[in-house]
Structure formats: structure tokens, C-alpha cells
Structure 1
């Protein structure tokens, strides 16, 4: 993710949360604390009023007079954007299909904040599952979650399940509220799963603060949880799996290629390398650079694209 994207995520996080620590920002953005302090310095140089509270219970906060309001498109404008994702596809010659879908998804989440708009979109049959959680505005949801965390009170959430295609009430002890990959999530203990889980705010139909008291476990690590559940935050990205063999294995393992990379050992000289990307155009040339030591496992369309390119190369050089 670019520095610009990280700065935007920091601004939005500070805008909705009273105080955020460097550790929390570091874990969410997958960068070290020194980078977070450089980001804060960059924001201050851009005249964005981010302040620092020193000490054990310190952190960063943004001036309450500063407010970056999410843009709100008209229903017609938003419909036209959503429809464009159905028309502009790679099959029709549009090479930025994945990037368009990712951008529209982020715009949609920031724009749809009330049930009236949801009902209008439901009639079109487009994205009906994703728009279920809009009985309360984004600001109202975030405010209640922050209050519940500050007071140590559990939340009662009416949450939409894609698997069940229905909503149900769950009791959640919120541990963290994070803005990640263009979306807001609350991470907390779920009484239904009897485990810590992730809840997408766009799928929260309504929520209320209960009188039940809870304490966040001292051994809970946000960083470990995010590493273990990285797939949850990449639903709108393309999963790319590459099998590396031979001499390339040691080289791949020696570097940090992407913030959400995952490496699975297959054997001494064979690994599966998994990343989630907005698009696959740049990674194609990178894969080809490893020659026979790299094999695309998924997605299938990328495997076919590389095969076609290899066939064309073979045709050029077969007479030499």
C-alpha cells in the first residue's frame, strides 16, 4: 500500500477515534513505529492538526475542529458506478477491472449510510448482500463502538451473515476498531463463536450498548490476530498463489515482498507464496522474471495469460 493510502487511513482513524497509539497504527498498517512517526510528521507539515500525548497512556489525536467528511454521491451516480463494474471487464478489453471493482467498493461503503438508499439499491438486484447494514449511519456505529470500548460494555449487534443470507443478534466484546483496506471493522469476542472475530461495519444492521461489563484480555495481540486473519480484509482483492522451486526459494524467503504475503513450506526447495492484490498486471512481469522457478497456481486467468505469453515467446525463438 502506498504512503498516500496510509496517510488517509491514519486521518480517518484519528477522525473517528479519540486517541490512537503508535502501536495500534503500526499493527493495522503493517509498518514499524518509526514509519508511523514519520507519517505523523508528514501530516503536521501538511497543516493537518495531529497532536501527540506523551506518557504511558499517550497516543495521537486530531483537532476536533478538523473534519474530513466522506463524500456522498447521489443514488443515480452511485448506480452508474456499480453498473460500470458489470460492463467494464477484461473480457471486454478493460484491463483495470479489478482496480475498478476495488475503487467502487470503497466509494460505496463511504457513500451508503441510510436504509432508504439501501432499499432503492435492493430493487435493482445489485450488491444486495453488501448493503444490508445501513439502518444506522457510519458515524453512529463508530460512536457507539468507541463508547462501549471506553466504558468496557458489551455490544448487542444485529449482524448480516452472507453464508446464512440473513441477519441475527450477536453479543460482542469489542477489542479494537480499525480502518483497513478502505473499510471499517470491529474486532472482538463473539459469544456465538466463542472466539475473537471480525465484524464489517457495513454488515451491521444496528447495534446497542448493553450493561454487561467485559475486560479485554491482556494477552490479546492485534498484530497476531491481523496476521492470522489477513484473508478477512482482502475480500475485494485478487488472491495470487505462486509456487516457487529451486534457487528462487531462498531468495523469496529472504525478502518482504508484500505487506500481506504468506509463505507455506511444501518441501526443502518448494514453497507456496500467497498475496492479495488490487490488480495482476505488475505481478505478471515479476513472475516471468523467475523463469521456470515460478509457477502460477491461481488465479486461473493469470496462469492462462502467462502461458499465452510463453507460447508467443516460444514462437519467436523456435527457429534459433
Structure 2
């Protein structure tokens, strides 16, 4: 990521988080701490009021009077940007696809307007992720999350799941609030999944600080989590979970298939293989290549697609 992009992300993080350490900024931006201090110096030279609080509970903060406003765009202009980001792709020769999408995400994250309904332009119908995220004011969400982390209180969130196309209630122990790829995320322990998960703020319809007390584990490392789950923060990825039988488990485990793959061993020798993709078409044929030794667990839509294809194959061979 360029220095300008990093500086913009730093301003956004400092604008919404009360206090942020050099270590936290280093982990979020994937640069060393010396670079963070150089960035802070550059912001001060540009008359952006970033200050340092020394001591055990110190860090960087920005004057409350400072506020970086978004461009005054209307709904049609924002929709045009969204459409452009999905039209101009590398497939048609546009080499700046990732930069354009990143810029649009950042504009959306700053353009907070509760009355604006920016439906995702993908013709899929159902819930609108953007309208879900705009139900509750972003500043209020961030305030509540910061409050819950400072007091060690769990959050109850009403969260939109892409895979299930539904809202679910989650109890979450927030470990970190980060800004990545133009969007805000909570990294925390999900009681329902019994695992550390990533929750995008624009998919949270509502949240409430509970009275349940939690402690962030000493063993948790934000840097390690980001290194192992980078795919989660690049756009709206779809989670794919496949169960591979023990007959081919060793082959799957000893091959690097995808940058963000996760493999969990199961009793009996089989494994669960998880990854995040932009489109289920990317992996459908790959899964079918393993025949009866692979079973899609989620998402449901991919499982149904493969089921239909198998049924069509059965008809061809059964009627032969």
C-alpha cells in the first residue's frame, strides 16, 4: 500500500479511536514502528493535530476538533462510483481495479448518511449490506465498541451473514477495532462460533454493550491474526468450507492451494478445508475434480449447485 493510502487510513483510525499505540498502527498497516513514527511526523508537518500521550497507557490521539469530512456526493454520484468499481476490471484491461475499489470503499466509509440507501449493484436481491450498515450511525457504533473494550464488556450484535442471507444474534468479546481496505472491522471472540472472528461494521444492524465481563487473552496477537486471515479484509469474500475424506486428506494438507486457506483435522482422518473467494465459480470445478472424496459444507448455494450438477451427470449415465 502507498504512503498516501497509509496516511489516510491513519487519519481515519485516529479520528474515530480515542487512543491508538504505535504497535497497533504497525499491525494494522503492516509496516514497522519506525515507519509509524515517520508517518506521525508527516501528519504533524501537514498541520494535522496528532498528539502523543506518554506512559504505560499512552499512545497517539487526534484533537476532537479535527474532523476529516467526506466529499459532498449525492446518492446518484455514489451509485455511479459503485457501478464503476464493478465495471472497470482487470478482465477488460483496466489495471487499476484494486486501487479503484479501495478508493470507493474509503469514500463509502467516510460518507455517513443514515437516510441514504446504497443498494449493492449485483442484481442478487435480498438484503442490502450497505443499508444494513447505515441503520445505526457509524460514530455511535464505534463509540460503543471502544467503550466495551475499555470496560471489558461483551457485545450483543445483530449481524448480517452473506452465506445465510440472514440476520443472526451474536455475543462477541471485542479484541480490536481496526480499519482495513476502506472498512471498519471488529476482531473478537464469537461465542456462537467458539472462535475468533472478523465482523464488518457495515453488516451490523444494531449492537449493545452487555454486562458480561471478558478478558482479552494474552496469547492473542493481532499481527498473527491479520497475517493468517488477510483474505477476510479484501472486499466481500465468500467463505467456502469443504470436508475432504481421509483418502486424500494428506494430499490436500501438503499442498498450498490458496493464500488464505485454513485446515482443521477431524476425527477419523478427514479434514475441513476453509478459504475465502470472490465467486463460488472460482472453486466449483476444482471441488468436482475430487469426486466423492470432497463434500461442500458451506455455503448452501454452492452445495446446491454441485448437487444439481451431480444429478445431471446421474441422468446422463443412468440413461446410457
TM-score normalised to structure 1 length: 0.68
CA deviations 1:186-220 (Å, max 9, x no partner) are 11110111111111111111111111111111221
Structure 1 residues 88, 212: closer, same or farther in 2, change over 3 A?
Answer: same
Structure 1 residues 191, 4: closer, same or farther in 2, change over 3 A?
Answer: same
Checking the alignment, whether the CA contact within 8 Å between 1:28 and 1:178 is kept in structure 2 is yes
Matches within 5 A, 1:224-243: 224-235=224-235
Distance 1:192 1:148 in 2: 19
SS of residue paired to 1:156: strand
Which moves more between the two structures, 167-176 or 91-100?
91-100
2:24 maps to 1:40: no
Structure 1 residues 117, 207: closer, same or farther in 2, change over 3 A?
Answer: same
Which moves more between the two structures, 80-89 or 170-179?
80-89
Partner of 1:198: 198
Distance 2:19 2:86 in 1: 41
Aligned length: 245
Residue ranges of structure 1 left out of the alignment (5+ in a row):
238-263, 276-298, 300-320
Structure 1 residues 219, 179: closer, same or farther in 2, change over 3 A?
Answer: same
2:139 maps to 1:139: yes
Residue 119 of structure 2: which of 113, 118, 121 is its match?
121
SS of residue paired to 2:69: coil
Structure 1 residues 70, 213: closer, same or farther in 2, change over 3 A?
Answer: farther
Partner of 1:285: none
CA RMSD of aligned residues (A): 2.9
Shift of 1:95: 4.7
Shift of 1:20: 0.6
Shift of 1:28: 0.8
Matches within 5 A, 1:118-267: 118=117, 121=119, 125=123, 129-131=128-130, 132-235=132-235
SS of residue paired to 2:73: coil
2:94 maps to 1:100: no
Distance 2:25 2:88 in 1: 35
Partner of 1:73: 73
Residue ranges of structure 2 left out of the alignment (5+ in a row):
238-252, 261-281, 283-320
Shift of 1:176: 0.5
TM-score normalised to structure 2 length: 0.68
Structure 1 residues 83, 225: closer, same or farther in 2, change over 3 A?
Answer: closer
Shift of 1:63: 1.3
Structure 1 residues 90, 149: closer, same or farther in 2, change over 3 A?
Answer: closer
Checking the alignment, whether the CA contact within 8 Å between 2:186 and 2:201 is kept in structure 1 is yes
Distance 1:72 1:144 in 2: 27
